[in-house]
Amino acid sequence: MMHARSIRMRRWSRGEYEQLVERGFFRPDERLELLDGLMLVKEPQSSAHMTAIRLVEDALRMAFGARWDVRTQGPIALDPRSEPEPDVSVVRGSPRDYRDAHPTSPALVVEVALASLRLDRTRKCRAFARAGVPEYWIVNLLDRALEVHREPALLDAARRRWGYRSIQALGPDAVVSPLAAPAARVVVADLLP
């Protein structure tokens, strides 16, 4: 009688992933990111997706000002098994502050979602909450809305499930102020292509 074997998965550490990147293991056209030890293939960039990324970048540069670095698709060292490359992130300081290491504590992370909406709402959301990212936005191009996630917390201790206690869906006419830049006003329509 044959017995079915369970499939084993190997999760990668951030250090192992960075060594593979440094050694040129991946093709230059491969768009990958490490999340919870898994290498994820990033979705292709449609014109609407890239336009939204640029609009978010512009709006957040204006909102945060000179003492903040607004990064587009740059790696964030979240934890030992996660190095995602969110569409936009905002970190304290300037680009030179991160010459030797990726930032670890973004004030705000933004993902632009078309095909990735489910992933952005689940696995990515949990990873950002677990890392203590205080604010996570999803620019939902399907519904033309901004989903604002705040108050990271362990929501289910038994299953070790992290998430955000506060989630708001804002339409194009709404205005939001980032937690780290409370005087700024960002109109949701300005983020949508």
Cβ atoms within 10 Å of 193's Cβ, excluding its own? 16
Is residue 86 situated within a structural domain?
A: yes
Cβ atoms within 10 Å of 87's Cβ, excluding its own? 27
Angle at 150 between CA 145 and CA 153, to 5 degrees: 135
* Domain span holding position 97: 45-191
Domain count, the chain: 1
For residue 89, what is the domain's CATH number?
A: 3.90.1570.10
Alpha-carbon separation of residue 142 from 38, 47, 69, 74, 187 (angstroms): 26, 14, 28, 24, 18
pLDDT, tens digit only, all 193 positions of the chain: 556 566 676 788 888 888 888 888 888 777 778 888 788 787 778 999 999 999 999 999 999 999 999 999 999 999 989 999 999 999 999 999 999 999 999 999 999 998 889 999 999 999 999 999 999 999 999 999 999 999 999 998 888 899 999 999 999 999 999 999 999 999 999 999 9
Residue 23 is predicted with a pLDDT of 83
Is residue 21 situated within a structural domain?
A: no
Q: Are 135 and 108 in contact (CB under 8 A)?
A: yes
Residue 5 is predicted with a pLDDT of 65
Which residue type occupies 176? V
Is residue 33 situated within a structural domain?
A: no
